[in-house]
Amino acid sequence: MKFKILLLLVSAHFLSIPLSGQKLIKNNNYSLSSSLFISSSDQLPFWLRSNQYGEVPVESQFLQLKGSVHHDYDSLFNKSKELKRFGIGYGITGLVNSGKVNQAILSESYIKIRHGFLEFYGGRRKEIVGLVDSTLSSGSFIWSGNALPLPKIELSIPNYTPITKNKILSIKGSYSHGWFGSTDSVKNYYLHQKTFYTRIGKPSWKFKFYGGFNHQVQWAGKPAKPFYDPKTEQVIKKYPSGFSTYTKVVTGISLNKDLDAGTIKDGVPFNEAFNRAGNHLGTIDIALEYETQVGKFLIYRQSIYEDGSLFYLSNISDGLSGISYAPTTFLSSNSFFSIHKINFELFNSMNQGGSRGSGSSGNSIPELRGVDNYFNNSLYQDGYTYKTLTIGTPHITPLYLSQESYSPLLISRLNQSYLINNRVQSINIALNGSILNTIFYNFRYSNSKNSGSYNYPLLNTQQSLLTNFKYRKNSWNYHLSLGFDKVSDLNSTLGSKVTLEKLF
């Protein structure tokens, strides 16, 4: 609450300040839209609701009213073509869903300040983390835009910035602190996040190589109900916080480096004492960009790390691999049907370091330590979710979306946000383009094998389709989206979204 009040005060202050002769209440982009969602079952098809930043609920049918205002930076260059050193922007997006689910959501509310190559922002802001095709990907492994944005404060280098005179080596990155808030299992816990990426190659080069990593930690807070930790013989009323813990969160240093886990009674639960402070996870990413006369290619790979398996390469088969191709001649005015970009991805999370986990005899051999149980944690029992939605790839789904596959007894014992389906293999194909250069379309198809988890296995396959059409006339946009799911031998689901949007 204190953070929200501070953000509103800061926002109000900056909105009243002229910047280089321009007031921030001018030169805004506004939009208003109305959307109707319907489907043949009580749930919307997968791609109609996934990667929507938490704005689209699972349940159908409903009407959505949405409005937004955004003020971006002025041109980064002045009249002398010198880089401007200072700029301010902001964004607000609010919506109301009315139907089977009634809710009001502020999905964006942020202010951003740029000074030279640095940017600071505070609030909720839509973003994707990782090297990926951000327009057509099925979802970046670690931060896909599937869940409502967390409120954060962040200092970043948002664009690749040369650090050598010849501009061959450039870097970008970010450092953030966020708030998860409270759930049924943990109260008032935090997010630590940082990213670092490099680019090798001048902007004008045909070949450019990218590489880097991201690091997320769920930490601090307190359990909703104090519990007795038998391995350390303590009653745990809160999880470690404070500056000392924060340094351990940031560095990822092991709390068991002296092999004394559980022997020091300092309020640290055994799960952290044996491992690290907080729940750590992220991806190591690489990408290659190649520009030719016929178009641009982007090839990328994201490899997940969570419990040390990637260090020993025992889960190296898990990750997101993709290739995108954007032809250079798609804007031909004589073309009835043109393709702007094509994307193909393979997603795999089946291995998880193997089936031998901490409870098996193989745990004494680090190279055999497995059952990483992606996105789940024994202390933060809602897992890597925010407001019940997976923060990472939407292919990894919580229990409440898979209840028909499990027994009522199991459902009653587990947290509804538990990421029960985290062993997945999928093929994803997407493309976008235009028809007669007036109707713009997006097409997406995925075929996934869902194996549940090592602890709670299942086996089903799911095929999902999405087709979206947009027609713009003057300042009006008309959208039609059709989605379809087929899950093993279960009933198929057909759904649609019709949107009328006004731009100002």
Q: Is the peptide bond before 61 cis (omega within 30 degrees of 0)?
A: yes
- Bridge-based pairing state of the strands 279-292 and 152-162: unpaired
Please state the φ and ψ torsions of residue 230, each to the nearest 5 degrees.
Answer: -65, -30
Structure tokens that stand for 367 in this block: 């190279």
| Secondary structure class of 454 (helix, strand, coil) | coil
Query: pTM here?
Result: 0.89
Show the domain range for 372: 29-220+278-494
Question: CB–CB of 498/479 below 8 Å?
Answer: yes
Is residue 2 one of the residues assigned to a domain?
Answer: no
Question: Cβ of 204: how many Cβ atoms within 10 Å?
Answer: 8
> Could you tell me if residue 320 is inside a domain?
yes
For residue 57, what pLDDT is reported?
95
Cβ proximity of 108 and 149 under 8 Å: yes
Considering only CA atoms, give the Rg of the chain: 24
pLDDT, residue 24, reads 64
22-28 contacts, C-beta under 8 A, 24 or more apart:
22/74, 24/71, 24/88, 24/90, 27/71, 27/74, 28/69, 28/70, 28/71
pLDDT at res. 358: 53
Could you count the other beta carbons within 10 Å of the beta carbon of residue 145? 21
Classify residue 140: in a domain, yes or no. yes
Q: In 3D, which of 57, 34, 54, 26 has the Cα closest to residue 44?
A: 57
CB 390 within 8 A of CB 140: no
| Half-sphere CA count of 232, side-chain side, radius 13 A | 21
User: Which residues does residue 181 pair with via DSSP β-bridges, in sequence order?
Assistant: 189
Look up residue 74 and give its DSSP letter: -
504 inside domain: no
The answer to the question of residue 359 being in a domain is yes
Burial of 299 (0-12, 13-18, 19+ CB in 10 A): middle
Total domains, the chain: 1
Q: Does 84 map to a domain? A: yes
58 contacts 45 by C-beta, under 8 angstroms = no
Q: Cβ–Cβ contacts within 10 Å for residue 81, how many?
A: 6
Greatest alpha-carbon span in the chain: 75
What pLDDT does 265 receive? 62
Mean pLDDT, 10 residues at a time, the chain of 504 residues: 47 44 70 96 96 95 96 73 81 96 96 94 97 96 97 97 95 98 94 98 95 97 91 89 92 74 70 82 97 94 86 86 89 72 97 71 55 92 95 96 83 89 97 92 97 93 97 94 90 94 93
Inside any domain, residue 212:
yes
CATH number of 296's domain: 2.40.160.130
Provide the H-helix boundaries in 219-319. Answer: 242-251, 270-273
Establish if 6 belongs to a structural domain: no
Please give the Cα distance from 180 to 293 (Å, whole number): 47
Question: Alpha helices, DSSP H only, in 16-142?
Answer: 46-49
Q: Which of 188, 98, 181, 96 is nearest to 387 (CA)?
A: 181
Give the pLDDT of residue 124. Answer: 97
In angstroms, rounded to a whole number, what is the distance separating the alpha carbons of residues 93 and 151? Answer: 14
Q: What is the pLDDT of residue 366?
A: 57
